[in-house]
Structure 1
Amino acid sequence: MKRSVILILLSSLLLSLSFCKKEEKPVLETEKPLFEKVLSENDKIIQFLLTTESVSPDVSGLISSLNSLEEAKGGLESSALEMKNVLEGAKSSDVRISFEAYSKFSEILASSMKTHGLQSGRNRFYCPMVKKTWVFFGMKILNPYAPDMRDCGDLIP
């Protein structure tokens, strides 16, 4: 008898916990152009990295775009905050630290794009040689991290 009561209580507890799962906010229509601005700022950084060697990118425009996205308070708010926090490391003048932070930002960006269907013709790429991720327009591999290996990397679906 005691055992069945305990089982019923545990089952009830587990069932109620499954219904208490935090509901994700939907992506608002007002967020979509803000996310597109984030993607556009990201494109600018990739273009900069493709034409410059051993210089940390200026991520201030990207952080500003992420602030606007976060302030919209929709389904992309938590992703914007996470990306912004990771980008703080990209402000470093140490290129190695900056690139590591930018790669982490790119992983979150790619995940957000895929989860919410907001690719806009952009894809995620990964270079196993430098162990870095980037997001860029199109399907052509242009590694922004390694000037001597611009074609090194893989398109990640």
Structure 2
Amino acid sequence: MKKKIIIFLFVVFVAIGAAEAKSILPTRPTVLAELGQIHHSFLEGKEVNADRLIAVLQQEVARDKSLSPALKAAEKLKAGTDEKTKLEAYNELSESLKEYIQKDESTGFHVFYCPMVKKKWIASGDKVQNPYDPSMKGCGKKI
């Protein structure tokens, strides 16, 4: 009897782990690539395109409702009409994806924080590249 309970619990834990892995793996590389592109666009002062990120987050939300705030923030980013509004939406997006990014540090993507503007961003690598103020690109830290 004791052996059956242990086997049952093991199967339950494996099933739960597989379900979580299934929810983050299929589109995760695309989400990361799009976040990297958005960060780069802000750094270079280029137009930000959130269409592909929105599309992939819609797929993710179908599997994991906890990503709904990220989808809403990405939609705000797309709808933003000025730089300030877009950067505010980008901060919301980064905040909402913080745990999603930190689940797997092997991707090379990290969450950063600037104490001067009190905002977060997501970027690849360890180098601080603050998108919020061109005069403070080195301000911030990895969290």
TM range (shorter): 0.7 to 0.9
2:82 matches 1:94: yes
Verify the 8 A CA contact 1:121 1:137 in the aligned structure 2: yes
Shift of 1:83: 0.4
| Corresponding position of 1:104 | 92
Q: Which residue does 1:113 correspond to in 2?
A: 101
Q: CA contact under 8 A between 2:128 and 2:140: conserved in structure 1?
A: yes
Pairing partner for 2:113 from 113, 119, 126: 126
Cα drift, residue 137 of structure 1: 0.7
Name 1:49's counterpart in structure 2. 42
3-state SS in 2 of match to 1:29: helix
Higher helix share: 2
Q: Give the Cα separation in 1 of the matches to 2:83 and 2:129.
A: 18
Aligned to 1:85: 72
Return the letter of the residue paired with 1:107: E
Count of matched residue positions in the alignment of Structure 1 and Structure 2: 127
Instruction: Identify unmatched segments of 5+ residues in structure 1.
Output: 1-22
Kept after mapping to 1: 8 A contact 2:42/2:131:
yes
2:60 to 69, 72, 89: 69
Deviation at 1:118, TM superposition (A): 5.9
Aligned-residue offset at 1:86: 2.0
The Cα RMSD (Å) is 2.3
Measure, in 2, the Cα distance between the counterparts of 1:118 and 1:29.
Answer: 17
TM-score, length of structure 2 as denominator length: 0.77
TM-score (normalised: structure 1): 0.71
8 Å CA contact 1:45–1:58 kept in 2: the answer is yes
What amino acid is the match of 1:63?
A: I
Q: Which has the larger radius of gyration?
A: 1
